[in-house]
């Protein structure tokens, strides 16, 4: 059965047809964690965290993402990768936790725990701890590239403890972005940011039953984009919850 669902993205909205049917995933990955690093070019303590994201990006069991924030821009110079929507996401996590812990470098693990992004051991501990929570990373998710399209597939919920609703998002990613820092605390340094999120596209809502969504690659890929991550997350963009499942793929 086919049904046309609306797809929203940060830059606008468009329509797409979602094929509501079971598609056998080809080589579905089963990562154990999504690590989101909120970072800034103006943060002198961030480069060690940025390096850790680069190291985690090499681990196929971890989807490591850089989310540059913009709240240090008030110092008088602009982070060239920063996006106010990353700032909003970081604050939304804080509101869901009920605390005021918004800082850089901050790593959010599986949507549930936060640690200082330069604490590699703390990240690993948080991965282990969040994996014990009901539903976290329990839903296999896959992506398939074919004929200029990308298809995201999510199966039925198989565990009674798994949440039966989540938003499905695709993130457009630049795997490595070298930046010569012109001003601020890191002035004169050339730093590389890894798996930088450059755009986001909501492809639909998962309700606990198998579904797949097919999107033209042109909707998520443009100059500098060479990878994509997809995740199913409990809650909503404004009230993000646990990561239920995720996948990552290169586009080239």
79-108 residue pLDDT tens: 999 999 999 999 999 999 999 899 999 999
Confidence of residue 185 (pLDDT cuts 50, 70, 90): confident
Tell me what pLDDT residue 159 has.
Answer: 65
- The Cα 45–Cα 53 span in angstroms is 14
Q: What is the mean pLDDT of residues 99-121?
A: 97
Confidence of residue 223 (pLDDT cuts 50, 70, 90): confident
User: Taking the domains of the chain in order of start, what are their residue ranges?
Assistant: 2-250
């Amino acid at each position: 059965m086919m049904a046309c669902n609306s797809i929203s993205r940060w830059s606008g909205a468009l329509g797409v047809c979602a094929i509501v049917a079971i598609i056998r995933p080809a080589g579905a990955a089963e990562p154990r964690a999504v690590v989101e690093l909120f970072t800034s070019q103006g943060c002198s303590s961030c480069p060690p965290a940025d390096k850790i994201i680069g190291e985690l990006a090499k681990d196929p069991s971890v989807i490591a993402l850089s989310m540059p924030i913009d709240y240090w821009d008030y110092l008088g110079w602009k982070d060239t990768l920063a996006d106010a929507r990353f700032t909003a996401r970081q604050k939304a996590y804080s509101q869901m936790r009920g605390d005021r812990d918004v800082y850089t470098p901050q790593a959010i693990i599986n949507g549930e725990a936060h640690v200082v992004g330069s604490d590699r051991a703390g990240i690993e501990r948080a991965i282990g701890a969040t994996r014990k929570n009901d539903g976290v990373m329990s839903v296999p998710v896959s992506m398939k590239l074919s004929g200029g399209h990308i298809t995201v597939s999510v199966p039925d919920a198989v565990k009674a403890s798994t949440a039966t609703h989540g938003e499905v998002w695709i993130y457009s990613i630049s795997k490595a972005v070298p930046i010569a820092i012109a001003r601020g605390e890191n002035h004169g340094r050339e730093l590389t940011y890894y798996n930088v999120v450059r755009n986001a596209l909501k492809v639909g809502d998962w309700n606990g039953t198998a579904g797949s969504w097919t999107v033209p690659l042109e909707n998520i890929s443009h100059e500098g984009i060479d990878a994509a991550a997809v995740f199913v997350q409990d809650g909503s963009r404004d009230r993000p919850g646990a990561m239920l499942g995720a996948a990552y793929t290169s586009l080239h």
